[in-house]
Amino acid sequence: MFDAGGLLVINSINQQKPQMQNASQRNNANYGDDNAKVEQLQNMIKQMQKQLDEKQTRIDDLLRKNNQLSKDKNNLSQKLQDQQQQCKCQKQQSKQEPVPQQPKETPKQQAPKIEEKKEESDDDEDTGAVVQRKRVMIQRGFTAADISKIKFKDYIESADGQQTLCLICNSKFTENQKYLDLQCTHKFHKKCIEAWFMRERKCPSCPRVYDLLELI
């Protein structure tokens, strides 16, 4: 303590005190800066959170609208289907009527003759509309090659159900005669249904439409 070296040491300690205080003040200042930064970051996070919430709200909105739109779309396509169904029904009904309305006691082969006459009279009219209609009708039926693949059954009276008359020509099935037993339960002579299928793919007696695969 009494030598110059000791004084120097004390002096140096005394001199260090303010320096340490300065350092801790600096540290406090640094903490203050950090706190400000943390606050700033927290504010930024809050801001971003708010933006996220807004975006989420917008997304929810859009999802709701999207749902509504797809519901509308489904409704519309359902309506379209219904309308198409109705169109088919009307077409089928108008086409169907001539066959079921034939009286049961019609002589054999009258129905095909009427159809042939119709076609002849169509030939007399030489308008584009008729040609167009014929083309559509040709496309509607099966091809001769397809029809040749159709599987027919041999009619056996005892094994058959209620239907004993062909619904096209209104005449009886006879034993071992080739006939077609459609999945809609309607039955027809081979010759009768072959002629029909050249023009249509539906059952002559009901709206059921057939794919070739169901007939072979």
Kindly list the residues in this chain that would bind Zn ion in the complex (CB under 5 A): 89, 166, 168-169, 184, 186, 189, 192, 203, 205-208
CB of 113 to Zn ion, least distance (A): 13
Q: Measured from the CB of residue 193, what is the shortest distance to Zn ion in angstroms?
A: 8
Nearer to Zn ion, 134 or 207 (CB): 207
> Min. distance of Cβ 153 from Zn ion in angstroms?
14
- Phi first, then psi, for residue 126 (nearest 5°) are -110, 45
Of 169 and 215, nearer to Zn ion (C-beta) is 169
- At its nearest, how many Å lie between Zn ion and the CB of residue 184? 3
Tokens of 198: 């050249």
Other CB atoms within 10 Å distance of the CB of residue 185: 13
Please state, in angstroms and as integers, the Cα–Cα distance from residue 54 to each residue in 43, 60, 68, 99, 119, following that order: 16, 10, 21, 67, 71
Q: Give residues with Cβ within 8 angstroms of 60, minimum separation 6.
A: none
Question: Token pair of 206, please?
Answer: 């009901």
- Comparing CB distances to Zn ion, the nearer of 192 and 215 is 192
Q: Which is nearer to Zn ion, 184 or 198 (CB)?
A: 184
Nearer to Zn ion, 66 or 198 (CB): 198
In 113-141, which positions are buried (b, 16+ CB within 10 angstroms) versus exposed (e)? Answer: eeeeeeeeeeeeeeeeeeeeeeeeeeeeb
**Closest approach of Zn ion to the CB of residue 72, in Å:** 27
